[in-house]
């Protein structure tokens, strides 16, 4: 073999390696491209599934509403995410969504949700949710004026009290009443009785862990220890607010009415928050019974319907909506359900899809 031949052979080999290498690179580029496109599709599908099933609790931008934890920035591994969505969380309102667990989502749909939660820009989710008209209604929140906060801060240890009141007004007032006086949903927190029977530690523990099987959720996910301590100080010192004459605006209760506007509002809320389980027009699904039935409507007075919607049915998938929907919202839903009565089937279609 001459040197030239050896040289040529070497060049040829190099050429093959280089060309092959490029081809290999191209091939993996193509695969990567295809994988990327699949991921984008998964994220898109996941966003829509999220909008239809999860926003009402986890928020349009995954920020977490009330005591529901945020999903934006969540640190769970993919398999843990999958398991949580598939099987739910025992003894909480986080239901099992997997079809094998009696839920409504196929494994592929849960896979897409997991991919989406892991990589999505949550701002884009909020935009998509808005596009679909599924942005959840605002929580009932008591507005605190700067004037009120200034008077509270002027009390001894006022900074902590003001923090406690801010947490209370946004997270607790909807159920416990604007001035801690209690509502049909939850007991009063401003009583001497409560102050004398519960220690600070007991109150802190109760707020942190909640009371399973009731509307009182655990707030350890949603509030910091400082915030829980501050709201506990508020409960402990409610008397001081009272004697300083600090009164928060009372949340208006709306009477149930059957006006077209109320029915339209009820219909909108129903399609937003109830059809996923109770089916289109309330005919029922595998997740929940039919509400559009003579049997149910004739046997259940308005007050009972309102109570069920507000408090949920503990130990079942029926969530408590009291903290998330206003009394007006709940009355509008009740009016909407009632409007079906004249045309409702005599017996609920228990075998609805």
What is the contact mask toward ligand HEC in residues 94 to 113, using x (rule: CB under 6 A)?
A: xx-x---------------x
Site for ligand HEC contains 65 (CB under 6 A): no
Site for ligand HEC contains 199 (CB under 6 A): no
- Report, in Å, the least distance between residue 159 CB and ligand HEC: 18
Using CB under 6 A, pick the residue from 124, 127, 194, 352 that binds ligand HEC: 194
What is the contact mask toward ligand HEC in residues 216 to 255, using x (rule: CB under 6 A)?
A: x--x-----------x---x--------------------
Which residues, at least 6 apart from 249, have a Cβ–Cβ distance to it below 8 Å? 142, 143, 178
Instruction: Name the one range near ligand HEC by CB under 6 A: 5-13, 18-26, 76-84, 119-127.
Output: 76-84
Using CB under 6 A, pick the residue from 187, 236, 263, 294 that binds ligand HEC: 187
Binding site for ligand HEC (CB under 6 A): 53-54, 56-58, 68-69, 71, 74, 76, 81, 84-85, 89, 92-95, 97, 113, 167, 171-172, 174-176, 185-187, 189, 194, 203, 206-207, 211, 214-216, 219, 231, 235, 273-274, 276-278, 287-289, 291, 296, 305, 308-309, 313, 316-323, 333
């Amino acid at each position: 073999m001459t040197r030239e031949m050896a040289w040529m052979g070497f060049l040829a080999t190099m050429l093959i390696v280089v060309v092959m290498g490029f081809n290999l690179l191209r091939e993996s580029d193509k695969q990567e491209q295809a994988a990327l496109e699949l991921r984008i599709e998964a994220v898109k599908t996941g966003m829509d599934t999220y909008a239809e099933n999860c926003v009402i609790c986890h928020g349009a931008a995954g920020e977490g509403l009330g005591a529901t934890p945020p999903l934006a920035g969540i640190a769970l591994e993919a398999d843990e995410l999958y398991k949580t969505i598939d099987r739910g969380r025992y003894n909480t309102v986080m239901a099992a969504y997997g079809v094998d667990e009696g839920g409504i989502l196929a494994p592929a749909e849960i896979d897409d949700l997991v991919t989406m939660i892991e990589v999505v820009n949550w701002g884009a989710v909020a935009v998509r949710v808005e596009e679909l008209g599924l942005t959840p209604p605002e929580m009932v929140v008591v507005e605190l004026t700067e004037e009120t906060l200034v008077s509270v801060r002027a009390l001894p240890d006022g900074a902590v009290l003001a923090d406690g009141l801010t947490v209370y007004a946004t997270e607790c007032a909807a159920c416990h009443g604007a001035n801690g006086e209690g509502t049909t949903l939850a007991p009063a927190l401003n009583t001497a009785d409560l102050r004398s029977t519960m220690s600070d530690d007991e109150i802190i523990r109760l707020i942190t862990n909640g009371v399973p099987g009731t509307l009182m959720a655990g707030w350890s996910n949603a509030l910091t220890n400082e915030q829980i301590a501050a709201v506990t100080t508020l409960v402990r010192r409610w008397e001081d607010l009272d004697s300083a004459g600090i009164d928060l605006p009372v949340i208006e209760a709306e009477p149930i009415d059957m006006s077209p506007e109320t029915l339209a509002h009820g219909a909108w809320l129903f399609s937003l928050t109830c059809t996923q389980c109770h089916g289109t027009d309330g005919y029922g699904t595998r997740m929940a019974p039919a509400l559009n039935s003579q049997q149910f409507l004739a046997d259940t007075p308005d007050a009972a319907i309102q109570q069920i919607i507000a408090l949920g049915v503990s130990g079942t998938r029926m969530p408590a909506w009291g903290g998330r929907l206003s009394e007006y919202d709940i009355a509008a839903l009740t009016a909407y359900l009632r409007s079906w009565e004249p045309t409702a089937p005599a017996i609920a279609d228990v075998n609805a899809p």
